[in-house]
Amino acid sequence: MRVTQGCFSFLPDLTDEQIAAQVQYCLDKGWAVNIEFTDDPHPRNTYWDMWGLPMFDLRDAAGIMKELADCRRVYGDRYIRISGFDSGHGWESVRISFIVNRPREEPGFRLDRSEAAGRNLRYATHSYAADRPEGERYADQ
């Protein structure tokens, strides 16, 4: 399966040149750019691990692309995403976010149902990846 979180998951994986253009878009808007990675892409997993602090005050995407390359070297077997953060009043939040790296195999999710009163069901989304301990989830790739 393919996790379709983020802004560009329905397009073919972005090339580095395309990623750099999106990063430059963020910088030109004055947003801070953040690189995050995870081995549990559960849709409600908000806090991916940060690759260093969000990068403020940069002018050119090259610096971020260098960090991305470094992050991929260490965590290339996981999901990595880039986000642009706007500290402007009324936003103070993420303004764009997109996946820039995926594990080779994406195991996806199981939907667990448990029957409740009447015809009600309780649902739980279960990451197959999380069946393994943290850090070993995509180890055999």
Partner 1 sequence: MTQAQEQISETPLQTIDLRHEFADLGIGDVLDQLDSELIGLKPVKTRIREIASLLLVERIRQKMALATTFPTLHMSFTGNPGTGKTTVALRMAGILHKLGFVRRGHVISVTRDDLVGQYIGHTAPKTKEILKKAMGGVLFIDEAYYLYRPENERDYGQEAIEILLQIMEAQREDLVVILAGYGDRMEKFFQSNPGFRSRIAHHIDFPDYSDGELLWIAELMLQQQNYRFSPEAREAFTRYIGIRKEQPLFSNARSIRNALDRIRLRQANRIVAKLDRTLTADDVMSIEAGDVLASRVFAKGAGEGR
Partner 2 sequence: MNIQQSMTVRGKDRYKSGVMEYKRMGYWEPNYEPKDTDVIALFRVTPQDGVDPTEACAAVAGESSTATWTVVWTDRLTAAEKYRAKCYRVDPVPNSPGSYFAYIAYDLDLFEPGSISNLTASIIGNVFGFKPLKALRLEDMRLPVAYVKTFQGPATGIVVERERLDKFGRPLLGATVKPKLGLSGRNYGRVVYEALKGGLDFTKDDENINSQPFMHWRERFLYCMEAVNRAQAATGEIKGTYLNVTAATMEDMYERAEFAHELGSNIVMIDLVIGYTAIQSMAKWARKNDMILHLHRAGHSTYTRQRSHGVSFRLIAKWMRLAGVDHIHAGTVVGKLEGDPNTTRGYYDICREDFNPMQLEHGVFFDQNWASLNKLMPVASGGIHAGQMHQLLDLLGEDVVLQFGGGTIGHPRGIQAGATANRVALEAMILARNEGRDYVHEGPEILAKAAQTCTPLREALDVWKDVTFNYESTDAPDFVPTPSMAV
Could you list the residues that contact partner 2 (CB under 8 A)?
1, 3-5, 7-12, 14, 18, 21-22, 25, 41-44, 46, 83-84, 89-98, 108-111, 119-121, 123, 125
Count of positions on this chain that bind partner 1 (CB under 8 A): 13
The structure tokens listed for 137 are: 């989830």
The structure tokens listed for 87 are: 């500290």
**Taking CB within 5 to 8 Å according to partner kind, which of partner 1, partner 2, none is near residue 25?**
partner 2
35 touches partner 1 by CB under 8 A: no
Contact map string, positions 59 to 98, toward partner 1, x by CB under 8 A = xxxxxx-xx-------------------------------
SS3 state of residue 27: helix
Q: Hunting for tokens 């040149």 — which residue is that?
A: 17
